[in-house]
Structure 1
Amino acid sequence: MDTPARPGGTLPLPSGTTCSRLGIGCWPIGGPAHNLGMPMGWSTADDHQALAGLERAFALGANLFDTADVYGHGHSEQLLGTFLRGIPRHEFAVTSKVGYFTEPGTGHAMEPAHLRRRLEGTLGRLGVDHLDVYSLHNADFGPGDALLEKAVATLRGFQQEGLIRSVGMRGPHRFAPERLTTEPGQREDKHARFRRHFAEIRPDVLAVRDNLLTPASATDGIREFSAAHSVTVIVNKALGQGLLTGKHTAAAPPAFADGDHRQRKAWFTEPALAVLGPYLDEIRHHLGDGPAPLAHAALAYCLRRWPGAAVLAGFTTASQVEQNLTCDPARLTTDDLLFLAEVGQQAQQALDQLGEVFTDEANG
């Protein structure tokens, strides 16, 4: 059987696997969960839909799957592993992350012994003998970065053992508890911290948060920086966790169940949705009505803005997968891209007027 075209085109990973540029984000299918005293999952997940969505994604040519041990405390990895069993290992790329979940009584998440236990659990749940990318999920390496050197040495050791093919880290961002427990004026500049950690980690892959609502300052220079250091980029949150698809409105703001991280996100409340709605209407008017043009515009924007990078699209249903993977970035003209960038920045600035908490979500 012929291999279907790869959505968004193809991208060679440092592992040697060629993957689809439009990949599958598997955080949502982990389901509801709590971690670090906060809701950290998705209450809208369904295991049957998750497996159906993964099957549809692979049938449509997507072969890059991104997950983490903290997504549903392993449930996302387990579901993905159920799907991947039986598929030849060379036909897909799978990435996972470590650092946000600590087993009770085991100390800091970045301690070497903990990193090994978490990797062994991840490989077992996924049913694979190696990961294409294993990433440090946050920038918390203990007071004074005391665990940073040991954590890096441990991951490079995994690489030498053949358990992982490449090491990843996140671009400039806020560690989740830091946004809740640290006053804005007392936070270390995240770009300075990122560059300090980058010099020590020397990653092969960089995860970057970007979408139409991301302030330009959040990613200033990162494309050039990654290119200068020959680092492969994986872009996440391209759909703004569903905000940019238009499915949430001020007239019917979402009510998320227990364990859903969006319960603590101001952008999903009626005031923010009322501000965002008119800007999404502008995009609809420009590109066409219905949910697909909005999702396609958001994904195509990131695919075109980050040439040579992969872009992740999360999902909870097979129909969302179908919608996302039929995106054709080539259909957007240069004028379309300029229009989207302008409207997106106007929307972000309007949300910014609602207060610091809204800005921090885009920057986080």
Structure 2
Amino acid sequence: MRYRELGKTGLKVSEISLGCWAIGGPSWRDGEPVGWSGNNDEESMAGLRKAIEMGINHLDTADVYGDGHSERLIGQLLKEVPRDRLIIASKVGWFKGTAPHAMHPLQIRHQLEQTLSNLGTDYVDLYYFHNANFGPNDCYLEEAAELLRQFKKEGKILHIGQSAYNYADFMRVLPVTQPDVLQFSYSALGSEYDQEETNLFRWADERNLGMVLFQPYQQGLMLDKFDPDNPPQFGEGDIRASNGRFTRENLLDIREKLKPIKERFGSDTQSLAGVAAQYALAQSKHACVIPGFKNARQVESNAKASETTLSAEDVAFVKKAMQG
């Protein structure tokens, strides 16, 4: 396993870290599925233990992942592993409870305390605003940002993070939240963050900010896991059930794009995982990736992606194949 410094935080994280959304299991928000089906707690715990064995030291979770279930599983792990061996990140902003809004300051305070209780620890290394929705006209933005700075003073969080889903949202809230780390989706399929005017990697590098990249495999699409002639069916409470990317047409399109990748690097899942992870990591020396998992086998495959090395020529080849 290779390690990277997460920008100015000084945190040395495994370049392949773990996203712990899927192990939270099925869940809903406002009647819409926001979790994952097909999880098993024993297999999840085996995966977390495998992560330690493979040198993974950074686990990323959130209050909304299984409504605290993901956090509680990590809490079980923390009973077995010294706290200072792990870098734990959690988030607030999607689960509003009985508050008028998830970013209401009282709700944020409550959720942090609940997160710490779920994890069985008195601090988290990294605490994110899970999105850039701070209420109508950003009415909770300034108070929420000041609250996280207060949490730092209290020693309950060590570093502040900001997650968002597009460049404009980042630019709107970053001057106020002033995070140490950004989290966003990124893969070889490309995004607006590749464009000159919205290059978030360059923007963050200039400010020595860490970057945590989720969905480097695009929920398995980059690994060619699914049969286009028999598109996957997902269980209740699974966010992928409402995702239009798992259609026969899209699966065929991605499979076609992957053909030259397979010819150059190998067609097995492990080879594709290594290419997908390392392509994302190549965008910045301050970035790590957090692919998800449900079991020890998937964790081992994720970790072994650290053994893949891509040259600058390889990175350019992957970009041309996947993005044209």
TM-score by length of 1: 0.85
Deviation of 1:267 after TM superposition, in Å, equals: 0.7
The correspondence of residues 224-303 of structure 1 with structure 2, limited to 5 A, is 224-303=202-281
Q: What is the distance in 2 between the residues matched to 1:332 and 1:322? A: 20
Q: What is the distance in 2 between the residues matched to 1:239 and 1:54? A: 19
Match for residue 160 of structure 1 among 120, 132, 153:
153
Q: What residue number does 1:75 align with?
A: 69
Q: What is the distance in 2 between the residues matched to 1:140 and 1:289? A: 40
Match for residue 105 of structure 2 among 96, 108, 112:
112
Structure 2 residue matching 1:109: 3-state secondary structure: coil
Contact 1:300-1:329 within 8 A present in 2 as well = no
1:49 aligned partner, one-letter code: E
Match for residue 313 of structure 1 among 291, 295, 298:
291
User: Is there any run of 5+ residues in structure 2 with no aligned partner, and where?
Assistant: none
Deviation of 1:128 after TM superposition, in Å, equals: 1.1
**Bigger RCO (CA 8 Å, 6+ sep):** 2
Q: What residue number does 2:315 align with?
A: 337
Contact 1:249-1:277 within 8 A present in 2 as well = no
Deviation of 1:126 after TM superposition, in Å, equals: 0.7
Aligned length: 322
Match for residue 194 of structure 1 among 170, 189, 194:
170
TM-score by length of 2: 0.95
Q: What residue number does 1:54 align with?
A: 48
Compared with structure 1, are the counterparts of its residues 13 and 226 closer, same or farther at alpha carbon in structure 2 (3 Å cutoff)?
A: closer
Structure 2 residue matching 1:313: 3-state secondary structure: coil
The correspondence of residues 14-53 of structure 1 with structure 2, limited to 5 A, is 16-53=10-47
Q: What is the distance in 2 between the residues matched to 1:306 and 1:338? A: 15
Match for residue 119 of structure 2 among 95, 120, 126:
126
Deviation of 1:13 after TM superposition, in Å, equals: 6.5
Q: What is the distance in 2 between the residues matched to 1:110 and 1:287? A: 44
Compared with structure 1, are the counterparts of its residues 329 and 322 closer, same or farther at alpha carbon in structure 2 (3 Å cutoff)?
A: closer
Using the aligned pairs only, state the percent identity.
Answer: 36
Contact 1:14-1:166 within 8 A present in 2 as well = no
User: Is there any run of 5+ residues in structure 1 with no aligned partner, and where?
Assistant: 1-6, 174-189, 347-364
Q: What is the distance in 2 between the residues matched to 1:157 and 1:116? A: 10
2:185 aligned with 1:209, yes or no? yes
Q: What is the distance in 1 between the residues matched to 2:114 and 2:75? A: 12
Compared with structure 1, are the counterparts of its residues 141 and 291 closer, same or farther at alpha carbon in structure 2 (3 Å cutoff)?
A: same
Deviation of 1:222 after TM superposition, in Å, equals: 0.8
